[in-house]
Amino acid sequence: MFTDTRLSACIVLYQSNATVLNTVQSVMKSEEPIDLYLVDNDPAHSIASVITDSYPQVQLIQEKKNVGFGRAHNELCGRLHSRYHLILNPDVTFDPDLLGRMVEYMEAHRDIAILTPRIFFPGGKEQFVPRLQPNFLFLLSGLLENWPFFKGQRRRYTMQDAYIPGPMRVGSASGCFLLIRTQVFYKLKGFDPHFFMYMEDCDLSKRAQEYGHVVYHPDFCVTHAWNRADKRDARLFWEHVKSAVRFLNKWGW
């Protein structure tokens, strides 16, 4: 059983490659003590044993099948003893002092439910992810962003042209790196399990605003090796479409 630390984190594995080792290393090198959980959605093709051999303090939860991103993270509901919980993709890295700085910021700002950082590609280019509340045009722009009209909508949705010198309230936080108050995560009962993958972070962000603000802070930075698999895989593209329709059916078109 983990001790009563301020911070916990969860990484969901699904046919994850060696990139996740860098992510785990970032977590374990953090200056902020952290309880790390892995939820493995595909134990038959897993790198989890490599991680737990190197870090036996990591707690592993193995699913019998791929239950999806949100449901896998929801395995932690009822298990956590932390004040803050980090939802983390297996391809994100960050500096050792980052998590402690973010936790201290949330300690000082009790009106924040979710804190989200500035995100960069490994080469240093900024990675613009959705920050405004999703609507029909914004979601369509994510699927058709190479079409001239939708390029502009995508820029608006991700606030690419906005001047953001300091922390600001936003409508959505990316599930690749999302720091949430554990009690808020519990009150929301985690992610909506009806989203298998895609849009579950937007839905969580929208629901979390009942309990506090979703805040983007440009001084907190992470690196995300985002491969946009849905742009190359037709099955994942349609999964993204289905999730977008499900979101709009739930919250309005």
Give the DSSP per-residue string, 70-81: HHHHHTTTTT--
Contact call for residues 98 and 196 (beta carbons, < 8 A): no
Q: What is the pLDDT of residues 72-114, one digit of tens each?
A: 999 999 999 999 999 999 999 999 999 999 999 999 999 999 9
Q: Residue 22: is its pLDDT beyond 70? A: yes
Instruction: Work out the pLDDT band at 3, boundaries 50, 70, 90.
Output: low
Q: What is the pLDDT of residues 138-155, one digit of tens each?
A: 998 888 877 788 899 999
Q: What is the pTM of this model?
A: 0.94
Structural domain boundaries in the chain: 7-130+164-230
According to the model, what pLDDT value does residue 242 have? Answer: 94
- What letter represents residue 69's amino acid? F
| Residue recorded with tokens 């919980």 | 85
Q: Residue 231: is its pLDDT beyond 90? A: no
Closest CA to 122 of 199, 12, 19: 19
Average pLDDT over residues 163-192: 97
In the CATH hierarchy, which top-level class contains the domain 7-130+164-230? alpha beta
Contact call for residues 141 and 157 (beta carbons, < 8 A): yes
Q: What is the pLDDT of residues 185-221, one digit of tens each?
A: 999 999 999 999 999 999 999 999 999 999 999 999 9
**Bridge partners, 112 (sequence order):** 213
Q: Residue 126: is its pLDDT beyond 80? A: yes
Q: Which tops the pLDDT comparison, 251 or 231? A: 251
Mean pLDDT of the chain: 93
Average pLDDT over residues 218-246: 85
Closest CA to 196 of 41, 85, 92: 41
Q: Which tops the pLDDT comparison, 248 or 142? A: 248
Q: Which tops the pLDDT comparison, 108 or 227? A: 108
